[in-house]
């Protein structure tokens, strides 16, 4: 058997294999790089989250109490320091809901709602007077409940690559807080009758104003796996929010007295929950 009869088919087979490899490697002759993993958090992604919120108000300051000269018409015995009340606002748990959409990679527009929470409010350092109208003591007095809810819009930045299944973020935005009007507690009603010209029943009631403010947050979304649409979320948000209200009470029908006061609510809100992305 001639050697050419063996080598010719072998050469044709090797040539065919080389051409096939070269064609698959592309014009440069090198094998193509492996395909990048698909984006997990990229343009067009929508995320919905629900969970619990711990609302921790800032009560490190004094109540801005205005109108005390009308509150105590005969005030020759009073000085401004008599009305530098501190305040204490209880922490409270509630729930939250957020929805976000990424118009481009790394950026999300998020709207959210922090459910109604009920905070007990106390005044610290309320003066106690003797018969000569001298301040002889100070005490803490429960004013009543502060019921609030907040909605917000945030613009969040996700710095890591869209292919990552762990997505930390930072954001800033605006919030709107609504407060429900409330009747004051019996102790404050008694105080209004004894020292502020009120008549029984004083029927003290605080009319709160709603408030707009700014907010900022840091958070993280962690997927339950690269191919999962479910995720767990944690976030810490600071909200700029002021509480301002008018205290109305009866001084003899049909007349009422009104005194305005305010304080910075400014809560830290700690959120944890689960979510789903589309």
pLDDT at residue number 189: 74
pLDDT at residue number 21: 40
pLDDT at residue number 166: 95
Q: Which residues contact 39 (CB under 8 A, 6 or more apart)?
A: 45, 105, 162, 163
**Four-residue CA torsion sign, 27, 33, 34, 38:** negative
Using CA atoms, how far apart are residues 214 and 177, in angstroms rounded to an integer? 11
**pLDDT less than 50: residues of the chain:** 1-26, 68-71, 73-79
pLDDT at residue number 142: 81
Chain centre to alpha carbon of residue 22: 58
- Whole-prediction pTM value? 0.76
Using CA atoms, how far apart are residues 56 and 248, in angstroms rounded to an integer? 28
3-state DSSP assignment of residue 119: strand
pLDDT at residue number 137: 72
Chain centre to alpha carbon of residue 232: 17
Q: Pick from 145, 139, 97, 87: which is nearest to 119 by CA?
A: 145
Sheet hosting strand 182-183, strand order edge to edge: 64-66, 255-264, 242-252, 205-209, 182-183
pLDDT at residue number 19: 42
């Amino acid at each position: 058997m001639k050697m050419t009869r063996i080598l010719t088919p072998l050469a044709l087979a090797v040539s065919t294999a080389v051409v096939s490899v070269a064609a698959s490697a592309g014009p440069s002759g090198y094998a193509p790089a492996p395909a990048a993993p698909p984006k997990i958090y990229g343009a067009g992604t929508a995320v919905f989250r629900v969970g619990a919120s711990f609302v921790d108000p800032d009560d490190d300051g004094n109540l801005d109490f205005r109108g005390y000269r009308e509150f105590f018409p005969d005030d020759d015995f009073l000085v401004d320091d008599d009305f530098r009340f501190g305040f204490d606002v209880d922490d409270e748990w509630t729930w939250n809901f957020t929805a976000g959409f990424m118009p481009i990679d790394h950026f999300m527009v998020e709207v959210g709602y922090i459910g109604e929470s009920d905070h007990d409010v106390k005044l610290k350092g309320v003066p106690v007077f003797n018969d000569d109208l001298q301040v002889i003591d100070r005490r803490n007095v429960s004013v009543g409940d502060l019921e609030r809810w907040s909605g917000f819009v945030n613009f969040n930045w996700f710095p890591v690559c869209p292919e990552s299944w762990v997505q930390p973020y930072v954001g800033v935005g605006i919030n709107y807080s609504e407060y429900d009007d409330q009747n004051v507690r019996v102790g404050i009603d008694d105080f209004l009758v004894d020292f502020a010209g009120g008549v029984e029943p004083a029927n003290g009631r605080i009319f709160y104003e709603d408030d707009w403010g700014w907010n900022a947050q840091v958070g993280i979304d962690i997927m339950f796996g690269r191919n999962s649409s479910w995720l767990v979320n944690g976030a810490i948000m600071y909200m700029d929010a002021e509480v301002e209200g008018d205290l109305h009470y009866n001084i003899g029908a049909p007349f009422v007295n009104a005194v305005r006061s305010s304080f910075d609510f400014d809560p830290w809100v700690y959120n944890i929950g689960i979510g789903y992305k589309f």
